[in-house]
Structure 1
């Protein structure tokens, strides 16, 4: 396949360098008489390629172009499509040049990103569909060859109103299993009610999380699908009931030792429990996390067929670091020690969105394991703040003017109060409140309705609305005029 890359004067050396790395297609680079490649138009491009159209199968202009080249393509009889927005994506685009159909409207980098992500998701679904589990938990495969699942805890579930409990369960859309954390000062009736509400709110498996026998019995009676947890203090009373109902259980040690866990697992088996998730207990950093990981590894070597429970939330909740990278690393460790279910909470603001992060991390690890490689270049990732490769924006600076502030005037059309709630942004001016999910559409609505009259004010609103949008994306709180 023969490809021609069209660029401008400024980007020509960079594009030339990127094109030189192509190995699957024959590629040339041509420079249009324009400084910035994004300003290439069909009128400018036609005389540049008219006598070369028969030499190429595909002509790629930068994905930053706003022009429509479809009519010129039809006139010249050669494909003219949008390439990547940035030069660093050119090698990837050329790699797929003879495999996919590039677009007149969508940049090649976005198109390839979608293709890779869709391929990754299909691979993940195929891995899970073909897997043989250790057991099924209300339609969810657990252990065996199945992928790691995420269990998300609703902390102090019996203290919540029905509305708040349902809202919290709904927020765990990415989780595979919903865990109801039961506080010590609860009651059997409260446990039964919480399980009933949870079962009405989701088709996902529901677990009851407590050591108190009366609460566990109430959870089983109400239809819980999993019991968390069995250990020495409740084993003799609860294990026979679990065995009779054939309910899976999480078994924990009495003293966080491997020997204690083994004794409890064996005792649960003696009492007829068939489906066990063994929890060697993941200690927080600073409290023996390395030793805990070794415990997981050693248990898995001794009991390779017993699914393992991995308490990732024990680490994320007790660490002042962004949870995204922490969850990715924990999922990788969990995969290597043979874990089947990863447990997390969103008990604090810093861990908000943790279930979604952990689920994506589990998908990444499943793909990496299947492809026998590292969790990179998979098509899905957890890169939210940082980027994989640097982008080089090549512009002509023109005349430089030093920036400085001037005194802000109050807008005669009034001021705005901005806040976020439930994943939406609200901007109130007088008796009108504009609501939406992205800064641009809210600002456009404000302008269209004549609610702003000063450029300063419009610029301020755009900055604040964008902060609000990012706060939602990053699961942060937002306070108007506060630093982000």
Structure 2
């Protein structure tokens, strides 16, 4: 039996990943395919007149699928080409669902190129137990090496002790200090990297036989970095380069140029980037910043970053960068946009909302025959319904008064608590643009917490579920 031959029309950015989807999907569904890329970057920008002008249909095509957001009357194309046209889903990653197949297979995100150095800030002021706890937190969240941050302008005798404790506990360790006694003690106890080296300490730090991070005397003085690199090469000292990432408003853009210049001038040397100057000093959620910094590092072959989690808005920064480095490596190696690979860093909002629409909600409300309350969050409103009525609005207190008045004896304390909890989640979903599903936790990316549903609790207690849809 001859298989259908479908022509998929797309834009330049989507071609590679569309082919990847189709190569797996076509044998499963049982069709043959061709892909034609029109001269547009983004498939969503297509419209019927453009397709009519630019498309040439190969022989043997049974029908043509256009991107779901292609605008215009498809009948114009059907009449012009004499062949059926259809709109596909808005996103080609939803083609398996369109053709009745299961969702996408998970991507392999086990690989990364960028090492994370996680700094324990002001470590000498912490107890040994606190240091070990912080180090383990960093390791569990993706850190490859623990950086012992000392106190600028002070000298402590604990540096060597702290490093030895961490090394004995199985951690790789670096020391962040310009104090000679601290650095020498740290190196003597197993520190494998020294942060940092410039003209002020080059004479003695280069004699320790340990890798150093070369930095300029001043962030803006790139020539001094070149001089330090030459001297480290001559002394046969292992090193990596850090041109210094500056905070926004204090030379940020210029510092990016320095990293680009460093890679051009030193193509064979390792480079490190201290990303805390952005994540710690920018009053914004840090996940997006970490993705952009990971992309910059991956493209410039910067193979290590120094990160920390001091300020509260950056309290998950290490794990964010761990996800980001894997996401970006996968995207670049597979010639794919960093999109629809995994959603662990989409935390504030959700990647996609599935809404029933007003007609479907009204129809559902008309057909409910039991007292269980259904809650939906759509169209900037809360929707609550059961056999006694359908209530919608933006104020959960008002809604509660309305549906409890309709059935004053139908709510005991536990059920009222449940409904209040669910409406709180629904309001949060509406506020942030998240998908709300009754009796299920909201999705916060990698920060999501498992939640036992109210119905599951009742089942475990041998009771009949009564909360929400069954």
Same-fold status (TM-score > 0.5): yes
Could you tell me which of 227, 242, 245 is aligned with 1:263? 227
**1:214-273 C-alpha deviation (Å, 9 max, x unpaired):** 2111110111111111111111011111x2xxx221111101221111111111222220
Could you tell me which of 238, 242, 247 is aligned with 1:279? 242
**1:452-475 C-alpha deviation (Å, 9 max, x unpaired):** 9443334446678999x8799787
Using structure 1 for the length normalisation, give the TM-score: 0.58
What is the SS of the residue equivalent to 1:151?
strand
Q: Is the 8 A contact 1:364 1:381 kept in 2?
A: no
Could you tell me which of 192, 208, 214 is aligned with 2:181? 214
Unaligned runs of 5+ in 2: 3-20, 32-89, 366-388, 402-411, 429-440, 449-470
Match of 1:121 in 2: 109
Q: Is the 8 A contact 2:320 2:345 kept in 1?
A: yes
* TM superposition shift of 1:179: 0.8
Q: Is the 8 A contact 1:149 1:359 kept in 2?
A: no
Q: Is the 8 A contact 1:192 1:221 kept in 2?
A: yes
* 1:221 to 1:463, Cα distance in 2 relative to 1, 3 A: farther
Map of 1:73-472 to 2, 5 A cutoff? 90-93=94-97, 97=101, 108-109=102-103, 112=104, 115-117=105-107, 120-121=108-109, 124=111, 147-172=113-138, 173=140, 174-184=142-152, 186-201=154-169, 203-241=170-208, 243=209, 247-256=210-219, 257-273=221-237, 275-379=238-342, 382-394=345-357, 395-397=360-362, 398=365, 399-402=389-392, 405=397, 453-460=413-420
What is the SS of the residue equivalent to 1:116?
coil
Q: Is the 8 A contact 2:347 2:445 kept in 1?
A: no
Unaligned runs of 5+ in 1: 3-20, 28-85, 98-107, 129-146, 410-451, 477-484
Q: Is the 8 A contact 1:156 1:183 kept in 2?
A: yes
Q: Is the 8 A contact 2:348 2:444 kept in 1?
A: no
What is the SS of the residue equivalent to 1:396?
helix
Moved more, 181-190 or 296-305: 181-190
Q: Is the 8 A contact 1:280 1:296 kept in 2?
A: yes
Using structure 2 for the length normalisation, give the TM-score: 0.59
Q: Is the 8 A contact 2:391 2:399 kept in 1?
A: no
Q: Is the 8 A contact 1:297 1:338 kept in 2?
A: no
* 1:184 to 1:391, Cα distance in 2 relative to 1, 3 A: same
* TM superposition shift of 1:200: 3.3
